[in-house]
Structure 1
């Protein structure tokens, strides 16, 4: 199981890479068979090719992330963060909680983004 510090560092890299416009570094945080559910309740994105495309699209829209509090670890293989997502290309702001599950190699195997209709504004 990855250490809490390793998971928190991965999530900080996730945030920093968005702000740097670096989709490749974001995608490298994920295992080859990872899944993304963003938002929870919508169809999943599965596998690295689809994840690479998902983040390339987000970066091309100028998406930026801001932490709304500290990144939180766990006693297990998960970590989460509350954040604000700014998408200038869509004039959109979303307040979300992203929860990540990690494998023993420290790669993200699941990302679940919790946000709904009441959590975004134009």
Structure 2
């Protein structure tokens, strides 16, 4: 079983990779049969090929920046949650999206499930100045 410290380290690394728009690095964190539900309530992306396509079509085109807004909470059961903010251009407007990601990990430390909790209510306009 993955340790809480490994969960924290991987989730911090995930945010760093999102900030860098490093799609290959992000996808490498996932298990081959992983699922991504981003945002929660949307159809899940199942398997590494679908996850790769999701990040390339979304994050890869968004010129996003990301930063943690709180600590990573990790369990002894191989799961964790992290609050963070993603700065993007949303329909031509500079916005920040407040997100909480919840991840479950497999025994090898790969992400087997990621659920991103956010919606339009979490979009905050950024000052352009």
Q: Tell me the TM-score normalised to structure 1 length.
A: 0.92
Partner of 1:88, secondary structure, is: strand
Query: Unmatched 5+ residue regions in structure 2?
Result: none
2:121 paired residue number: 118
Contact 1:62-1:89 within 8 A present in 2 as well: no
Q: Which has the higher helix share?
A: 1
Q: Spell out, residue by residue over 1:58-106, the C-alpha distance to the aligned partner (whole angstroms, 9 max, x if none).
A: 1331111111111111121101100111113643321111000001110
Q: Which moved more, 1:105-114 or 1:47-56?
A: 47-56
Aligned length: 122
CA RMSD after TM alignment: 1.4
Note if 1:94 corresponds to 2:97: yes
2:86 paired residue number: 85
Output the CA distance in 2 between the equivalents of 1:45 and 1:28: 15
2:47 paired residue number: 47
Q: Spell out, residue by residue over 1:3-54, the C-alpha distance to the aligned partner (whole angstroms, 9 max, x if none).
A: 1111111111111112222110000000011001111111111111111111
Note if 1:23 corresponds to 2:26: no
Query: Unmatched 5+ residue regions in structure 1?
Result: none
Q: 1:109 aligns with which of 109, 112, 119?
A: 112
Contact 2:74-2:80 within 8 A present in 1 as well: yes
